[in-house]
Structure 1
């Protein structure tokens, strides 16, 4: 199958969406599919407001149209709602092509965290219209599907994520010489991640922050006793993760929390709030602890055996995730074919 994937999140960005899409493309190609990725790096870009590390494609519609015309895809998937995704949306709408979408990021809450005057409710109305043109919208968990259905989304289908256990695994830790126990946050350091909720906790030992983002510099100044190591990649990242005793995930807005699965694969029990995302990843009292009292969750998680988390991660591979994704795609060019009344819908 010839699959066109349009995304505003792509390398060199480092985040959960890029991780998922990169792994997806690799597995689709390994399965024999021909995949064209249309991403911001193919166009002139501008810096994203408040997040200069992310580059957005400027006026990509002509370039998107040329690439889709040349590639002649069997299926089109729009992964994000940025300028590249919107250009693909417009092109498919004008050509009467069918396409699928996926929902990765709760942008209305993210925008509201930066600019409180922006309405979360209005944001979801806009996103529901964007995704509503697709044959179906793929989501990572049933609770996320329920949340989006309440926001006006329809034709929601399940596309579960995986973890690369060849990379994320227990290894010899890097020598940090920090007093134990070591509680780690791993991920983007940005306002929407609520990192301060972790940094404010009264915990024994040390706090470790692995990752980068627009909030890192001000947080380093506010919390001089916290050990910030910035972005780490490859084996260096794994060794830093394995230097911790527990992963603390303070975000309340993540749709999944792929980093939780990656931390568990490295042998770290996790502590998080009982919200969408962590609720689907964490087996309560087995691979982690969910509690509205994040300090209590972190201290309880220290007592857990890491083995169940490692075993759980090994049952969620990217090959299975890619096969599930491919099964949800729709033929792009079938004139006169009506959209189905219901997709392969998430019912629970």
Structure 2
């Protein structure tokens, strides 16, 4: 199948959405599908206000049209609600092409955490964006229920995977990257930004050492405010995996993520996860033997962290092994069905005929 993916989140951005999309694209290509990516690196960009690391595409609409024409997709997926996603959505609406979307971030909460924008306004935009979608893919049942309460429809499940070869328990011949720090090690990994609620972790009175791995707009502020917390900056690949497997507990305080891929990455290394009872952790942790959740969304995180120290790291790893990227990609492709109807084939045939007629007129 010829699959077109339009996304505002792509390399060189470093986050769970990008890791998910790049891995799923790799798996789909390995399955024999042709995948065309439309991403911000193909356009002039401007930095996102309050978060300069994220680049927003400028003038994407006409180039996106040309991408559609040249690739002639059989399935179209719009992964994000930014400029690239908006351009692809506009093309689909104007040309009457079916498409699917996905909900990766609690966008209204994300915006409200940064700007004086009411949650209702954020949800109104999101409902407008996703309403024409044949299927809106979400990562967890909790997220589905929450979005249905806000009036969203056509929601389908799309889970996540983890690279259990990259993220593995520390072997006897591997270095403990935290050997120089007092134990136990409580670790957080991700963007150091207000919507990640990292301060709820940084302020905890915990034994041992709190470590934050990642960069972001709130890093300097939190470093100054919490000198007892070790901020390492961003880590990648095997070095990142070593930080996960050298930790005693992984702490995930975010309330805005829809899944939290780092949860699975931590579990794959054997590090149990402490978090709040929020979408993502609430769908992964309970009953897994791989973590402990605080009873609410504002307190109890310290107690969850301490309780994680008693969990069996082998059981944590076994639970993570039940997730795979191939299964994630297969579920994504299934959500693209039904496959193209004859009307879409006729559309592309008609578009090619019009293009030939235009070229003949220009040549004449």
Partner of 2:4: 4
Q: Following the alignment from structure 1 to structure 2, what is the Cα–Cα distance between the partners of residues 91 and 250?
A: 38
Pick from 244, 247, 263 the counterpart of residue 250 of structure 2.
247
1:187 and 2:177 matched: no
Q: Which has the higher contact order (CA 8 A, sep 6+)?
A: 1
Point out the more displaced range, 241-250 or 8-17. 241-250
Q: Following the alignment from structure 2 to structure 1, what is the Cα–Cα distance between the partners of residues 145 and 310?
A: 33
1:319 and 2:329 matched: no
Structure 1 unmatched ranges of 5 or more:
338-348
Deviation at 1:285, TM superposition (A): 7.1
What are the superposed Cα offsets for residues 212-251 of structure 1, whole Å, 9 maximum, x if unpaired?
1111111111111111111100111111112210001111
1:335 and 2:334 matched: no
Q: TM-score, normalised by structure 2?
A: 0.90
Partner of 1:61: 61
Corresponding pairs, count: 336
Pick from 233, 237, 240 the counterpart of residue 237 of structure 1.
240
Partner of 2:362: none
Q: TM-score, normalised by structure 1?
A: 0.94
1:223 and 2:226 matched: yes
Contact conserved, 1:184 with 1:210, CA < 8 A, in 2?
A: yes
Paired residue secondary structure (1:55): strand
Q: Following the alignment from structure 1 to structure 2, what is the Cα–Cα distance between the partners of residues 42 and 166?
A: 32
Q: Following the alignment from structure 1 to structure 2, what is the Cα–Cα distance between the partners of residues 272 and 125?
A: 29
Partner of 1:340: none
Structure with more helix by fraction: 2
Deviation at 1:333, TM superposition (A): 6.4
Partner of 2:38: 38
1:197 and 2:209 matched: no
Partner of 2:355: none
What do you get for the CA RMSD once the two structures are aligned?
A: 1.4
Point out the more displaced range, 120-129 or 323-332. 323-332
Pick from 276, 280, 283 the counterpart of residue 277 of structure 1.
280
Q: Following the alignment from structure 1 to structure 2, what is the Cα–Cα distance between the partners of residues 287 and 233?
A: 23
Q: Following the alignment from structure 1 to structure 2, what is the Cα–Cα distance between the partners of residues 217 and 247?
A: 22
Deviation at 1:257, TM superposition (A): 1.1
Contact conserved, 2:215 with 2:234, CA < 8 A, in 1?
A: yes
List aligned pairs for 1:286-301, cutoff 5 A.
286-291=289-294, 292=296, 293-301=300-308
Partner of 2:167: 168
Deviation at 1:48, TM superposition (A): 0.5
Deviation at 1:78, TM superposition (A): 0.2
Q: Following the alignment from structure 2 to structure 1, what is the Cα–Cα distance between the partners of residues 315 and 330?
A: 25
Partner of 2:96: 96
Alpha-carbon distance change, 231 to 333 in structure 1, aligned in 2, over 3 angstroms: farther
What are the superposed Cα offsets for residues 296-345 of structure 1, whole Å, 9 maximum, x if unpaired?
000001111111221111111000010010011044565399xxxxxxxx
Contact conserved, 1:161 with 1:321, CA < 8 A, in 2?
A: yes
Deviation at 1:126, TM superposition (A): 1.2
Q: Following the alignment from structure 2 to structure 1, what is the Cα–Cα distance between the partners of residues 5 and 113?
A: 29
Partner of 2:14: 14
Q: Following the alignment from structure 1 to structure 2, what is the Cα–Cα distance between the partners of residues 142 and 235?
A: 32
Q: Following the alignment from structure 1 to structure 2, what is the Cα–Cα distance between the partners of residues 136 and 285?
A: 29
Contact conserved, 2:288 with 2:319, CA < 8 A, in 1?
A: no
Structure 2 unmatched ranges of 5 or more:
346-364
Q: Following the alignment from structure 2 to structure 1, what is the Cα–Cα distance between the partners of residues 287 and 302?
A: 16
Structure with max Cα Rg: 2
What are the superposed Cα offsets for residues 244-300 of structure 1, whole Å, 9 maximum, x if unpaired?
100011111210111111100011001001111101111347110001300000000
